[in-house]
Structure 1
Amino acid sequence: MKTNGGQFLHFSRVLFWRTMVAVLAAPSYLPANLHDDTLAELSIPKIKTHLAYLASDQLGGRATGSMGAKLAADYIADQLSKSKVKPFGAKNSYFQNIPMHGSKPLKESRLRFSTRDETRTFELGQDYLLYDAGAPTYIAAPREMVFVGYGIVAPEYDYNDYLSVDVEGKIVVFINGEPISDEEDYFAGARNTIHANVDVKQRVALSRGAMGTILLPNPRTEKNIPWHYWQQQFAFENVSLLYARATNLNILLNPQMATALFKGSPFEYRHVVDMVNADLLQSFKMAGKLAFKGAFKEWEFSDQNVIGIIPGRDKKLKNEYVMVSAHYDHLGIGPAVNGDSIYNGFGDNAIGVSATLEIARVLATAPKPPKRSVIFLFTTGEERGLLGATYYIDHPRVPLYKTFVSLNIDGIAMFDTFNDFVGIGAEHSTLENVLKNLADSFSLTYSRVPAIFANSNAFGRSDQIVFAREGIPALALLEGLNYKHFTFEQGLLRFVEWGEKYYHTPFDDLQQPINYDAVEQHCELLVALVSKLANQVKSIDFYPNSPFLNARLQSIAEER
């Protein structure tokens, strides 16, 4: 499966935080029926030790392919070995080597727009930004453009933006997001669906024969995001899997250039804005043409996933696998902010990796192994487009249809202990029932994603989506907003402030305040969940209306 680089992740993740701004001796939390001699005691000091190394300046932000990332991978492998978690990578090692391609567009790149009356050149950085790209994206002869609304094909909702237009060999232009609905059975009501993902839109366009795509920020929901913010987010190099290098052009256009782009077309951009606001988008052939001549610095390198396994003890169930994943990469060295250019990634995701290492130790040192086998997958390249997870799916260590469930750990509670938790992605399957039972055993409440976050598309912003697309029930378990020592409004404000001040900045480092009672509570919950999935749950089934059900059925039928 091909991804189109990490910028679409920056786009959706940062939009999430911006949207939220507009809205505006530690106790043990393991339940009594699980808090016995079957599991070792979870150690916060060990988690702190992992964090002190993984989030240190010494690792330089753990960018994909960097020396800091290699040091992090070596450390993770060493800790798995010390915990008696068996290697499950290539050649009896902990490593799965991944060939990758890196590129960075140079200022000499030229995007040329022409109509019958004029020709103009858009400037890289100022007028547009490039998703994953390289030399193969060269478009010499000007190509026609077609506006395709949201760029969505969703037969389950009887919706097709491509129905009345031919995009073969052309450049498609679409709006970010998807139709807004109050009906749960039409684009999931208030919640975003997978069709809102930028990479999904790009792949749909490619499958229809388009030579490239231009994404326009949504004029209704994203008009307050300044362009300089996207310039900063796209400042990092593009990385792709070597065998999945971009061959088509994918652009994010500065909204200030949109008026020029639609000049002479049946509808001007101001009319498109009216269509978006009225929920009456329609597709049409545009008047202009586009050509692109890029200049790039390109290189090839190898990076690694780190994989360990606790083999199951049950004769039958040991051939079913519970996947626990956490990405260890971050952004590396980037634009300096207040003199600091190291993007340490403490919360994203050194703390998730540290927690996963401790969960692995607790389970591996239990007197009895779990009934099902448990795979611990530490992925690279998540920040660059879910690359490590995608490579694993393309080169799985076990058949995908035998993967019972995937639990992705991307972030751990840091603000306060909590009274409820959410399962991102659980709404697609009977995992919801597992989580409700888990909540009862902890005297907590299982909650759906709060309505205020409905359009954040949290499920599509990390590795869990990669596994779900292949038909594997997947989730990420996060704390809710009903904190023990804050009101809902105070918790929401702190959550949003973290996103604005720390997320994907050099300040997500070891200096920020952390509530380790919250860390422990979250980790105890995760230990119990993994144990329950590996020992007690008989089956997990996608709901009939899940977009991932067909992939599951196909995987089982093909024994893939």
Structure 2
Amino acid sequence: MNRATLIFFILGYYTLLNGQAAGPGQIDASSEQICDNIKRHISFLGSDSLEGRATGSEGIKIAADYIREQLKKSGIEPPSGHADYFQRIPMHSSAPKQESLLLLLCNGDTLKLNLNKDYLLNKTGSQTFIPAPVPMIFAGYGIHAPEYDYSDYQETDVSGKVVVFLDGEPESDNPEFFKGELNTIYSYLESKQRTAIARGAVGSIMILNPEQKNEKRWHTLKKEYSFTDINLAYHPMGHFSAILSPEMALRILEKSGLPVNEILKMVKSGNLVPQGINCRLSFRGQFRERDFIDQNVIGIITAESEKKDEYIAVTAHYDHLGIGPSVKGDSIYNGVMDNAIGTAALLELSKMFNKNRNKLKRSLIVIFFTGEEKGLLGSKYYNDFPVIPLYKTIANVNIDGMAAFDNFKSVAGIGAELSDLNDILRVTADKLNIGIQKIPAFFHEDEAYTRSDQISFANAGIPSILIMEGMDYINLTYEQGLKLWMYWNDDIYHSPFDDLNQYINFAAVEQHLIFLYNFINDIAAAEQEIGWKKGLFYENIRLRTKAEKR
């Protein structure tokens, strides 16, 4: 019996023993109806016929039409100016061709690097061109973090150069220094690239930390970068940004006079000194490019109350990765848990709230986002061009995945501690006899908050949250639950196996949906304005949008 089969057997057995959702909540629908409807939605959205719902694909258009029809059937109105429920978004896609030419001139030798074997392109398009060879410089982790009194750019001029930096950030067991064992925003490649360009660099290269085993990491990166790069059409394309394979990084560092053992010494001593690399770089990319229109799908549920002009945005992304590298003969990345199931949950919530809108204290705008997997494109576009003014939107509840292993005794609010939504979360949890947990450290809470569409609302000043189940399950020990999460994250997430064949405990899905229904109702009924915790920069954005009535 393989590992996946064993997990299926264990969970199925537990469900037979205890298959009822915890707590009835206040939903005017039977458990059987809710589960049947969600099964029906995910069976369609997660089917092979939609080919993984990639942004800009025929599959995502079919999914958008399906969502629109479900909103119509539920009697949910489109927003003003969008009679067909669609918010159309101009996008641009770019995929590098194998003929792209990356050359390194090192001590008289010319190295021609092969795309997808020796390097991956993080950014694509014409702005990545470096037609004449330019100098390269090693800049440690490529981080400038004044709040930690740390900079890899101290007295270092990178103007007109390509900056080479390590993956990750300085190791620390001190929570006051780069948050100890947790990752900060400075560990992200995008953050490092922005820092390099802001200091005058013409491009950047990331090398995987030679202190770590990188074979699996490189394999994962190759899979991620096999999908087409897509951007909002009005956003400028990025500068040259690449990731070197572990083998090519070792070869170049040796040739450049900066051997790996020297870097390892600097890493261990905590003293990564910027220094020149005896190589020059040029890049002439060739790309397959396309301009197209994709769409968010939006519905409005208008409350029958004095505060009907105030809105809660309830959101889920409906896109996934599409067709990608074949794994065990399967190349369709269906995205059932990520996020056909969240889309299904939002369709059911929308129906329930519309049926009971006479009880709602504030109105809802329900938004199904495209382009989340390509960098939160749909939610970024919406907050740049909101259908409901931002200052009238009091909160965002984002749904990205649903509980699916087992019924649970607690929830975790990702981003809850940043705003007054934390207080409302406690009210809802107490009412439903549910505890509140912090998410396990391996989820990296800051990362979790910034990796889905709730961060787009936060960046627009709107308090936002994503709710997931806690790790204390009804029928599973903490260790069993953790193993399932780790297995799903390592073997199922962003793979062809996030499909309709995986085990889903629909009693747990229902319990999660009941919690969301009650939580959103409690937000709508809040007497006080929902604000950010003092001192957060999100608070300043909120004050500005209110002052500008944007």
Shared fold, TM over 0.5: yes
SS in 2 for 1:93: coil
Letter of the 2:360 counterpart: P
> In structure 2, how many angstroms separate the alpha carbons of the residues matched to 1:558 and 1:195?
31
Shift of 1:90: 4.4
Structure 1 gaps of 5+ residues are 1-24
Query: Which consecutive residues of structure 2, in runs of 5 or more, have no partner in the other structure?
Result: 1-17
Q: Which residue of 2 aligns with 1:248?
A: 239
Deviates more, 1:503-512 or 1:163-172: 163-172
Instruction: Name the CA distance, whole Å, in 1 between partners of 2:152 and 2:463.
Output: 29
Distance 1:75 1:36, change over 3 A: closer
- The answer to whether 1:115 aligns with 2:115 is no
CA distance in 2 between partners of 1:153 and 1:558 (Å): 33
Structure-1 residue corresponding to 2:395: 405
**Shift of the alpha carbon at 1:220?**
4.6
Whether 2:464 is the aligned partner of 1:464: answer no
Determine what percentage of the aligned residue pairs are the same residue: 44
1:207-245 Cα offsets, whole Å, 9 max, x none, are 333222212233456635253332222211111111224
The structure that has the greater radius of gyration is 2
1:298-447 alignment runs, 5 A limit: 298-315=289-306, 317-366=307-356, 368-447=358-437
The code of the aligned residue for 1:213 comes to S
Q: Does the residue aligned with 2:444 lie in a helix, a strand or coil? A: helix
TM-aligned CA deviation for residue 108 of structure 1:
0.8
Structure 2 residue 35 is matched with structure 1 residue 35: no
Partner of 1:13: none
User: Displacement of 1:534 after TM fit?
Assistant: 1.5
Aligned to 1:269: 260
- 1:293 aligned to which of 284, 287, 293: 284
CA distance in 1, matches of 2:490, 2:176: 33
The 3 A distance-change label for structure 1 pair 555 and 222 is: farther
* 1:123 counterpart letter in structure 2: N
Distance 2:545 2:198 in 1: 21
Q: Distance in 2 between matches of 1:440 and 1:220?
A: 46
Counterpart selection for 1:484 from 461, 467, 474: 474
Match of 1:140 in 2: 131
Distance 1:475 1:200, change over 3 A: farther
Determine whether 1:513 maps to 2:503.
yes
Structure 1 residue 454, shift from structure 2 partner: 3.2
Distance in structure 1 (CA, Å) of the matches to 2:247 and 2:133: 22
Structure 1 residue aligned with 2:59? 68
The residue type paired with residue 336 of structure 1 is S
Which residue of structure 1 aligns with residue 216 of structure 2? 225
- Aligned counterparts of 1:79 and 1:125: Cα–Cα separation in 2: 41
Q: Which of 45, 70, 94 is the matching residue for 2:85?
A: 94
> 1:213–1:250: 8 Å Cα contact kept in structure 2?
yes
2:123 and 2:242 in contact (8 A); partners too? no
Residues 391 and 220 of structure 1, relative CA distance in 2, 3 Å threshold:
farther
CA contact (8 A) 1:359 1:523 kept: yes
State the Cα distance separating 1:378 from its structure 2 match: 0.7
- The alpha carbon displacement at 1:71 in A equals 0.5
Closer, same or farther in 2 for the Cα pair 1:498/1:185, shift >3 Å?
same
Mapped contact 1:178–1:196 kept (Cα < 8 A): yes
1:236 maps to what in 2?
A: 227
Number of residue pairs aligned between Structure 1 and Structure 2: 532
Q: 2:167 and 2:500 mapped to 1: Cα distance?
A: 35
3-state DSSP class of the match of 1:383?
Answer: helix
Alpha-carbon distance in structure 1 between the residues aligned to 2:141 and 2:457: 25
Counterpart CA distance in 2 for 1:290 and 1:538 is 57
Inter-partner Cα distance in structure 2 for 1:252 and 1:479: 35
Taking the aligned partners of 1:472 and 1:408, their CA distance within structure 2 comes to: 12
**Distance verdict in 2 for CA 1:276–1:556, change over 3 Å:** farther
Comparing 462-471 and 370-379, the one that deviates more: 462-471
Q: Give yes or no for the alignment of 1:154 onto 2:145.
A: yes
Contact 1:263/1:287 (8 A) holds in 2: no
Task: Give 1:527's aligned residue.
Answer: 517
In terms of mean alpha carbon deviation, does 81-90 or 479-488 score higher? 81-90
Determine the structure 2 residue equivalent to 1:9. Answer: none
Per-residue deviation, 1:281: 3.0
Task: State the SS of the aligned residue for 1:104.
Answer: strand
Provide Cα deviations, 1:402-453, integer angstroms capped at 9, x if missing partner.
Answer: 3222221111111111111111122322322222222222212111121233
Structure 1 residue 331: Cα displacement:
1.1
Question: Is the alpha carbon distance of 1:478 and 1:279 closer, same or farther for their aligned partners in structure 2, counting shifts above 3 Å?
Answer: farther
Q: 1:180 and 1:538 mapped to 2: Cα distance?
A: 42
- 2:221 aligns to what SS in structure 1? helix
The CA deviation string for residues 176-227 of structure 1, in whole angstroms up to 9 with x for no partner, is 3333433444333333233333223323333333222212233456635253
Aligned-pair CA distance for 1:500: 2.5
2: distance between equivalents of 1:71 and 1:521? Answer: 29
Shift of 1:558: 4.0
Query: 1:85–1:178: structure 2 CA closer, same or farther, 3 Å change rule?
Result: farther
1:274 Cα deviation from its structure 2 partner: 3.2
Aligned counterpart, 2:13? none
Is the CA contact 1:190–1:454 (under 8 Å) kept in the aligned structure 2?
no
Q: In 1, Cα distance between the equivalents of 2:529 and 2:132? A: 54
Distance 2:391 2:144 in 1: 27
Q: CA RMSD in A?
A: 2.5
Cα deviation 1:491-548 (Å, max 9, x = unaligned): 1111111223321111111111111111001111111111111222623333345453
